[in-house]
Structure 1
Amino acid sequence: MHGEYKVPGGKLVVVDLEVDDGLLKNVRVAGDFFLEPDEAILSIDAAIEGAPADTDAAGLKARIDAALPESATLFGFTTDSVAVAVRRALARATDWRDYDWQLIHEAPQSPALHMALDEVITTEVAAGRRPPTLRVWQWDAPAVIIGSFQSLRNEVDLAGAARHGAQVVRRISGGGAMFAEPRSTITYSLAVPEALVSGLSFADSYAYLDDWVLSALGDMGIKAWYQPLNDIATEVGKVAGAAQKRVVGPDGGAGAVLHHVTMSYDIDVDKMLDVLRIGKEKLSDKGTRSAKKRVDPLRRQTGLSRETVIERMIDSFRRRYGLTTGKVTDEEMARARELVRTKFQNDEWTARVP
C-alpha cells in the first residue's frame, strides 16, 4: 500500500507498507523533507512496524514520538504528517494527479443558481458521472450567503441587504456568513471524490484542499497560510474563508466533498457591516476590536486586477495537476434551475433557521 501527504506549506511525506495478519509490515517512510540525524528515519520506520492496522493517527503519532531520539530535528514535516500518510495508505487514498481535472468558468450567474450548481456538480462527482471539478464563480448580483445552520435574523440585516440590492441565500455547507459583490470577491468550488481526502481528519482536509491556492498566492508575492479551521490568512489579515459539505454516493457508497472558498479582492467593509450582523462575541473570538481589521483585500496586497488574479490561480492549478476546460451540461443546468425554484429561492430553505 502506498500513501502520500503533502504538508500544507511544507514537504511531501510518502509511506509504503504492507498489512500481514492485521499488522503493519515492511514500512518505509520517504519524502523530500529534512531530518537529522540520518538514522532517525530508521526509528520512524521501526515505530510503525508491527502496529495494528487499525491504529488511528493519534496512536501512530504517539509511537513515532516515543521512538525518536531527543536530538531528532524534523523540518518540513511532523510526526503527525507521517501518521496521516500511513492512514492514507491504509485507506488507499488517491492523489491530485490521479484525476483528469475539469475547469468550469462561465458567465455571471445568480447567487441562488451558484448554490444549486454546487449541489448538482458535487452530486455528479459522487456518482462518478463527472470528473473532479474546479468551478470559478462569476456573480451577477450582490449577495449575502449564510451557512447551512446559521440563524437568518441573527446573521443578516435584511433592511441593509435590501438597501444594497443584495440577495440573501443559504448554502448547503456550514460555516459563517459572507457578503459578495460581483467585482469585490473571488469565489471558487472544488468538487472532489472522497478518496482524495481519505485518511485525513475533517480539519486536515481543509488544509489539504487549500494548499494549491496558498502556492498560487505565493507566486503573486503573498505569503499566506491556512488558519484553522477554515480561514486563509496573511500577515496583514484574513483574505479568504472556506466551507465544506460531504455528499454521499449512490446506494450509500463513497461520495464526494464540496470545498468552496470566497476570497476578498476589494470588499467594501462598510457595506459588509451594513448587511451582516457581526457580533461582539465573534470579534472577540478573532482577537480584534474592529471587523474592518479582519479582512485585507487581495487588490491592495497584489496590485493586480481581479481578472489577473483569477487567471494566475487557474494557471497555478493547471501547472500542478492538469486542467481541461469544460462546462455545465444541459442536464446539470436543468437540475440546478429546478433546485433554484424548489429550494434556494424558497423561504422554507432560506429561513429554515429563522
Structure 2
Amino acid sequence: MSDFFHGEYKVHGGKLVVADLAVDAGRLARVSISGDFFLEPDEALADINAALEGQPSDTPAAALAEAIEAALRPGVVLFGFSAQAVAIAVRRALAQATGWADHQWEVIAPSVLPTYVNVALDEVLTEEVGAGRRNPTLRFWDWEEPSVVIGSFQSVRNELDPDGVARHGITVARRISGGGAMFMEAGNCITYSLYVPQTLVDGLTFADSYLFLDGWVMEALGSIGVEAFYVPLNDIATDQGKIGGAAQKRLGNGGMLHHVTMSYDIDADKMVQVLRIGAEKLSDKGTTSAKKRVDPLRRQTGLGRAEIIEAMAATFTARYGARSSTLTEAELAEAARRVESKFATDEWLNRIP
C-alpha cells in the first residue's frame, strides 16, 4: 500500500483547498479533494477526483487544471476556488510545489550600497536561492546616489531625458527583471527584493503570483492605515493613487526574483525632468499628469521611512517565522565582480539603446 500525501493551498482572497492522495506505479491514486469552498452541484466533486485519478505524478499544474476543467459538466459552479487551486494543492501534496511554511525565511535589513551593487545582488542572491545555497530571503535596499533603475527590456533612449540625467547627476542602471523605470533618491523610496524558489509559485499564473508574493506587504500597509491593492499586472495603489510597482525574473536554476519599489517621498518635479513618461502610458493609467500618478507613502501615513520598513519587516517575520540575516562576504564579492563585468558596462546598460 502506498503512503498517503497531503497538500493544502489557500486561494488569495478565497478558500482553502486540500488534497489527499496516494501514488501507485507513478500515477495518482485514491484522490480526495476537500476544503471550505463552495461547489454546485455536489456531484462535481466526484468528477474532480476522477479527473485526477491515474494522472502521472509529475504532471504539471497547468495540465492537471486542464484535466479538471475538461471533466466538469456545463453549469458547474466553483466558488472560492478553481481548477488551478486544486492542481496547486495536488502539487504541494507531492512536494513538487511548496508553501511559505515549507521554508526557513530570512530578512536582510537595509544597508547603504551603490545602486550597481544593489542590482547585481538581485542576480547573485536569486541564483543562490535557486541553487539551494541560501534560504529564501527578503532584502530591503538602501542607497545614496540619485538613480534610475530601468527594466530589463526598456530602451535607454525612450525612457530617459539625457539633459535631466546630466543636470541632476543621475546614476542609470539596468536590472534583470522587467517592468518600468524607478526614479530613486536617498530616502525617497522603499525598495525590497524577495528571492524565492519557483516551487513557491508553482501552478500560479504570473498575475496571481504578484498578489501571492505581496500578501504580507498588503497586511503590513494595512497595519499602518494604508489600504493597498494591486492594479493588474504589477502596480500597487490605494484609492489616492499609485504607490509602487513590482517586477519579476525567473532563472533557469529554479530561483525567482520578485522586486518592489514604493514611493515614500518622491520629488515629482525632478522625476519628470529625468524620465520620459509618454502620453500613451499616462492614458492607460487614467491620468494626464505624471506627477499625479504617484501618491507617496509619507503623505498617506505621516510616518518616517524607517518606521514603515520596520512595520513591513515585522509583519513578514511574524507571518512566516523569518529570522534576521546578513549579506555574506562571498555574496558581496560576487556582486562587485558582476558590477565590473556586467551591470556597470555600456554593453549591459545600452543593450536596448
Do both share a fold (TM > 0.5)? Answer: yes
Checking the alignment, whether the CA contact within 8 Å between 1:109 and 1:138 is kept in structure 2 is yes
CA RMSD of aligned residues (A): 2.4
Cα drift, residue 335 of structure 1: 0.7
Find the aligned partners of 1:50 and 1:19 in 2 and give their Cα distance.
Answer: 14
Checking the alignment, whether the CA contact within 8 Å between 1:24 and 1:50 is kept in structure 2 is no
Cα drift, residue 87 of structure 1: 5.1
Match of residue 101 from structure 2: 97
Q: Once structures 1 and 2 are overlaid, which stretch shifts more, 215-224 or 318-327?
A: 215-224
Structure 1 81/224 Cα, relative in aligned 2: closer, same or farther at 3 Å?
farther
Structure 1 62/157 Cα, relative in aligned 2: closer, same or farther at 3 Å?
farther
Cα drift, residue 20 of structure 1: 5.4
Identity %: 57
Secondary structure of the corresponding residue to residue 310 of structure 1? helix
Checking the alignment, whether the CA contact within 8 Å between 2:84 and 2:203 is kept in structure 1 is no
Matches within 5 A, 1:96-175: 96-175=100-179
Structure 1 21/236 Cα, relative in aligned 2: closer, same or farther at 3 Å?
farther
Is 1:45 the counterpart of 2:49? The answer is no
Structure 1 34/45 Cα, relative in aligned 2: closer, same or farther at 3 Å?
closer
Cα drift, residue 109 of structure 1: 0.8
Match of residue 35 from structure 1: 38
Find the aligned partners of 1:284 and 1:321 in 2 and give their Cα distance.
Answer: 39
Q: Once structures 1 and 2 are overlaid, which stretch shifts more, 110-119 or 60-69?
A: 60-69
Find the aligned partners of 1:16 and 1:227 in 2 and give their Cα distance.
Answer: 35
Structure 1 30/143 Cα, relative in aligned 2: closer, same or farther at 3 Å?
farther
Match of residue 7 from structure 1: 11
Checking the alignment, whether the CA contact within 8 Å between 2:88 and 2:202 is kept in structure 1 is no
- Per-residue CA deviation, residues 305-331 of structure 1 (Å, 9 max, x unaligned), is 111110010000011101111111111
Is 1:334 the counterpart of 2:333? The answer is yes
What residue identity is the alignment partner of 1:35?
F
Match of residue 209 from structure 1: 213
Matches within 5 A, 1:1-354: 1-18=5-22, 25-31=29-35, 33=36, 35=38, 42-52=42-52, 53=55, 54=59, 55-61=63-69, 63-64=71-72, 66=74, 68=76, 74-75=79-80, 77-78=81-82, 80-86=84-90, 88-89=92-93, 92-249=96-253, 255-354=254-353
Cα drift, residue 66 of structure 1: 3.7
Structure 1 59/160 Cα, relative in aligned 2: closer, same or farther at 3 Å?
farther
Cα drift, residue 44 of structure 1: 4.7
Structure 1 154/30 Cα, relative in aligned 2: closer, same or farther at 3 Å?
same
Q: Once structures 1 and 2 are overlaid, which stretch shifts more, 270-279 or 289-298?
A: 289-298
Cα drift, residue 121 of structure 1: 0.8
Checking the alignment, whether the CA contact within 8 Å between 1:3 and 1:93 is kept in structure 2 is no
Show structure 1 runs of 5+ residues with no match. Answer: 250-254
Checking the alignment, whether the CA contact within 8 Å between 1:24 and 1:49 is kept in structure 2 is no
Find the aligned partners of 1:325 and 1:2 in 2 and give their Cα distance.
Answer: 30
Cα drift, residue 217 of structure 1: 1.3
Alignment size in residue pairs: 341
Q: Once structures 1 and 2 are overlaid, which stretch shifts more, 49-58 or 178-187?
A: 49-58
Show structure 2 runs of 5+ residues with no match. Answer: none
Structure 1 154/66 Cα, relative in aligned 2: closer, same or farther at 3 Å?
same
Cα drift, residue 7 of structure 1: 2.7
